């Protein structure tokens, strides 16, 4: 679909996958005016296809649009367009257990112009890519490194938006983590560098003394859809959940006091990702003996059960395509 000032969004169509033709001066290439989303389509045992909370993705896309001065999309039209695309391309949704079809909607400013201002012309594209099971053999704990030098987002910045610039800012931390044999980075706040924010592509949760604790949304972290679903599930199970500021020192103290029971990340890719080791400066914390904890496992089983249509969906999270 295309956008032009004065004309609005128009020319929605389904075309075979192909390279794009863009001017070398296209504004998205120089000034980063682009936003995206990540979601999945799942194949049920009866062969049908379904999406998990897709309205949340299009709502978040519009929140990103607002921050990047990109025109709003009609969320219901976008969902309808995606459903039509999935009906045409339904054979791409894998049948094998744990596999799914990754869906990447994105919008880029395409005006050929050297100079910083919001564009007048945009492309909204949805690409599809089958993805294999994230965990081939059970849930493997990941090792996370707390980044103390660089920051990913600041208050008033665009950390809450899903835009390439945020990921560009995170590459150096990820590179540093990999060099130290850690697979992911845990980012701290951009002001005092002591409050926990999020992992590279996941939100983060802690189980401290039987309470579920996660950083509150203050504009600098992505409002994850798996995060929201995790909070809703835990509350429905009668667990105590707090969304608040979490000082990294508090986590180290809870660990020393033997009260840090579980740490896990949440995101569309892995759904629930248990953390086995957390490194903060010279301190390496081994969480739950590097094993998946009961709350992480229950969340994973419930969330993936709903996503694959294996268990009931009391929250109405599922959108059936057929």
Least gap, CB of 19 to ligand PMP (angstroms): 25
188 vs 220: CA distance, rounded Å: 10
Quick one: 26 or 73, whose CB is closer to ligand PMP? Answer: 73
Residue with tokens 């594209």: 125
246 vs 198: CA distance, rounded Å: 11
3 vs 120: CA distance, rounded Å: 8
* Residue 296 binds to ligand PMP (criterion: CB under 6 A): no
| Cβ atoms of 139 and 297 closer than 8 Å | yes
288 vs 206: CA distance, rounded Å: 12
What are the residues whose beta carbons fall under 8 Å from the beta carbon of 233, sequence distance 6 or more? 299, 302, 303
Residues 150-179 that bind ligand PMP (CB under 6 A): none
* Residue 201 binds to ligand PMP (criterion: CB under 6 A): yes
* Residue 266 binds to ligand PMP (criterion: CB under 6 A): yes
List 107, 139, 202, 233, residue binding ligand PMP (CB under 6 A):
202
List 71, 227, 251, 303, residue binding ligand PMP (CB under 6 A):
227
Least gap, CB of 227 to ligand PMP (angstroms): 6
Residues 56-75 that bind ligand PMP (CB under 6 A): none
* Residue 203 binds to ligand PMP (criterion: CB under 6 A): yes
List 54, 224, 276, 309, residue binding ligand PMP (CB under 6 A):
224
| Cβ atoms of 86 and 66 closer than 8 Å | no
Contact positions vs ligand PMP (CB under 6 A): 38, 198, 201-203, 222, 224-227, 266-268
């Amino acid at each position: 679909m295309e956008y032009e000032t004065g004309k609005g969004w128009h020319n929605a169509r389904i075309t075979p996958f192909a390279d794009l033709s863009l001017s070398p001066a296209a504004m998205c290439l120089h000034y980063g005016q682009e936003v995206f989303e990540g979601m999945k389509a799942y194949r049920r045992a009866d062969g049908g296809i379904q999406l998990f909370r897709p309205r949340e993705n299009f709502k978040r896309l519009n929140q990103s649009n607002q921050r990047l001065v990109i025109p709003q999309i009609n969320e219901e039209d976008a969902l309808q367009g995606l459903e039509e695309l999935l009906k045409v391309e339904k054979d791409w949704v894998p049948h094998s257990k744990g596999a799914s079809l990754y869906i990447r909607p994105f919008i880029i400013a395409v005006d050929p112009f050297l100079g910083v201002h919001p564009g007048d012309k945009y492309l909204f594209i949805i690409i599809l890519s089958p993805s294999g099971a994230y965990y081939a053999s059970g849930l493997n704990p990941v090792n996370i490194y707390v980044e103390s030098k660089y920051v990913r987002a600041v208050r008033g910045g665009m950390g809450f938006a899903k835009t390439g610039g945020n990921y560009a800012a995170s590459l150096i931390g990820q590179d540093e983590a990999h060099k130290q044999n850690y697979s992911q980075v845990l980012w701290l706040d951009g002001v005092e560098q002591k409050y926990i924010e999020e992992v590279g592509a996941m939100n983060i949760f802690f189980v401290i003394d039987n309470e579920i604790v996660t950083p509150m949304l203050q504009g600098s972290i992505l409002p994850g859809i798996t995060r929201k679903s995790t909070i809703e599930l835990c509350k429905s199970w009668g667990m105590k959940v707090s969304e608040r500021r979490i000082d990294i020192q508090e986590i180290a103290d809870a660990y020393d006091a033997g009260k840090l029971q579980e740490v896990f990340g949440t995101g569309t890719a892995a759904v629930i990702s248990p953390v086995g080791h957390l490194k903060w400066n010279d301190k390496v914390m081994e969480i739950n003996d590097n094993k998946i904890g009961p709350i992480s496992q229950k969340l994973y089983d419930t969330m993936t059960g709903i996503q694959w249509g294996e268990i009931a969906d009391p929250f109405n999270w599922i959108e059936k395509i057929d």
